[in-house]
Structure 1
Amino acid sequence: MTRTLASMLFFASALSITGPATALAEGFKLMSQDIAPAQFMTKKQEFNGFGCDGKNLSPQLSWKNPPKGTVSLAITAYDPDAPTGSGWWHWQLVNIPKDVTFLNSGAGAPNANLSPKGSRILKNDYGQMGFGGACPPEGHGVHRYQFTIHALSQKLEIPEGASSALVGYLINANTIASSTLEALYKRD
């Protein structure tokens, strides 16, 4: 076989391998009617406490095209800019049934009964169950809030009292695909 033919076959085979994987990565997508990529969230998504006086409502979220092999889903909201050395977990909701495709605004409130049946709401880094809105320190500048949908290869067995870091580890260890929507917030 000539070098040119071998190069063409290699190139064609590389395209067939990367084509579907790229399409899969682009197909699983997180969207929201309440927040937008690289845009500032409103007081609706601000925490109520720690010096903040927002409504503490988790945003409406929807997603499409979870990959084949998805057994359950998880939602996380994370602030990598929190001045803690390890970021700040605002929300972790696991074991969302694989056929669920949206969460209404406020679904992160544990007493609202808006989270999907069978899912499990966990403690945030405020030490409270459910969604804990944005509350960066005043004058600390713009913080990024990463809302991520994770397609999981299994339902998660989370021990009682598990730390947010352990939950994050278990989610990441079982994620087969994910999609992130990064919104912003600051307090002057």
Structure 2
Amino acid sequence: MSDNDPLHGLPVVPSFTVASTDVRDGGALSLDQWSGILGVPGGKDISPQLSWSGAPEGTSSYAVTVFDPDAPTGSGFWHWAVADIPASVQNLPADAGNGEQLPTGALHLPNDARAARYLGAAPPPGTGVHRYFIVVSALDVGTTGVAGDSTPAFLGFTIAGHILGRAVLTATATAPSA
């Protein structure tokens, strides 16, 4: 792991499985998951399909986040955050990040561009390879209690003591040359 491992220091919890028909663990994001909103030619801002299994007993809800720790900001970049996904849900279809296909009760939080939606990859020119941590957290509470305008970082702070398990899928995107 690199020095900027975003999972370092988080509570150690059991892992479970997350998979995607759109993203391969360790593989590059497709242009569908890049950001046309942020000006990437051909980028579509389509969140990847996700499915998970094996969450710990007692799971009452899930949170899903996508974070780029390699963004040249000093604090990374949150691309997507969804809280309060009911425990009965174990998958999100592709493009659930536009908000229209989220399960009832799920709460979209604003990303670092302050849009309550999935925002695709857009690594600035010359910044090399970026990692995108797609994390599904199994929680022991049915609702996080966070407000709809909360930041993903605040969500992480709020759920830290409620995480029963964590599933992680990591994808990459390489910035164009400077």
TM-score (norm 2): 0.86
1:123 — aligned with what? 110
Task: Give the counterpart of 1:96 among 57, 67, 85.
Answer: 85
2-structure distance, mates of 1:46, 1:61: 16
1:121 maps to amino acid: H
Q: Does 1:61 align with 2:54?
A: no
Q: Does 1:166 align with 2:145?
A: no
Deviations 1:116-174 (A, max 9, x none): 11111110011111111111101210000000110001120112432222112113332
Deviations 1:36-95 (A, max 9, x none): 111101110001233323000000000001111111011000001111111111110010
State the SS of the aligned residue for 2:154: helix
Q: Count residues with an aligned counterpart.
A: 162
Question: Unaligned regions of 5+ residues in structure 1, if any?
Answer: 1-23
State the SS of the aligned residue for 1:172: helix
TM-score (norm 1): 0.82
1:166 maps to amino acid: F
State the SS of the aligned residue for 2:14: helix
State the SS of the aligned residue for 2:98: coil
Q: CA RMSD in A?
A: 1.4
1:148 — aligned with what? 135
Q: Does 1:52 align with 2:40?
A: yes
* Contact 2:109–2:151 under 8 Å retained in 1: no
1-structure distance, mates of 2:149, 2:108: 12
1:181 maps to amino acid: L
State the SS of the aligned residue for 1:48: coil
- Sequence identity percentage: 36
Find the structure with the greater CA-based Rg: 1
* Contact 2:129–2:172 under 8 Å retained in 1: yes
